[in-house]
Chains A and B, each alone.
Chain A
């Protein structure tokens, strides 16, 4: 039971990290960025590429994991900024459907680009989590699992601080509410949107590296399902809402962990997407969405 919760929290924190970028991008430019899951995949592959270039494999060093994590975050962050610049910005004034289709195109480009370079078969991630650990309240916890969860939590705290307390964060929220109004405050909307793409993509890249280490293997389609899961998490929490994305990610991780234990692993995805449909039907604003009073 406690073990299921712990596993749910670990997987849930990956979902939350990816869902945050999904939700932030939706919040600021109202785009469902279907390519976001593929940034997570890129994060894993950047880590894989860097480590294998140095001939590293089967490593369990936590400091090394942190270095690779940071490197992947910066790389995927920049890739995210580039994608927005090249693919989405020229369509800022186009119909939503055009941008949505572009996002799907970007997704395929990233997936099959990586397939061209690294091939279609799964690769073993060069860093593993060591399996020795300790028991707390009947739960097997390894040091590196703990590190993963702490990093994820720290990243989310930093993000919450940026969005809630800093000048850039205020600008992000202002654009989400009224882009033209934000422009009248002197906000350089293009630059703030770039920042959002950087942060969101860096978080997804971080999750990709963590997932590589956690699951042990990566492949070019690994971003597809997690993209859908992150979308589900964002919807459960209330899309556009940061805390909603965090909560939604954790809840989804827990749901899957229990669902898989009770009904069998093959039911995991059915479980998540059934929840997506339930929420979209009965509470499309999610758990934390639209709870704000607004006077028209």
Chain B
């Protein structure tokens, strides 16, 4: 469903951000991406929703390939993905309801379907009681739930989360993580970048570790941990 093949990414000013990254995420999988700051986690996620394109190599997501896509393919792909960030990215002048409805409005959902759908999504993330609150009237954990509800609006096949708990305390983090597990249990794949090694350890999910733009460990490949000095460590990934 998500497949990176020998992906290199260079930025004009900062140089190589990713080198020879190869991995695959299957339908319904839950995958953590970990690694130190600047390792390339966010870059990998941006490549997944085609915010960036690889310099060489291929990224293929749900049938859309970085080698052959047309501009019109990107919106189509993004409707099949949900994306959430550390900073929530809610629209401050709209209440909870309209923030979620916004994703449906701008993707051409019939107006009659939007209301019921928003209610269902808010119930799913546990915010039914705060539908008319403004984002600034919510806690960080609650704001992230709104963002998740918005990401789920178009029934994505995968949820891509870039440090979704980075701004949250221990309790809120556990709540959000549980929500991700529930979403995943319903069949949506989750690809989540995080610094929170405790969380990763406790969860026991597949983990890909990145360092200096290279995959240095992938719990799905048979070898276990390999040092950063063996660059092609991840190549025999499925």
Mutual binders A and B: no
Q: Which residues of A contact B (CB under 8 A)?
A: none
Q: Which residues of B contact A (CB under 8 A)?
A: none
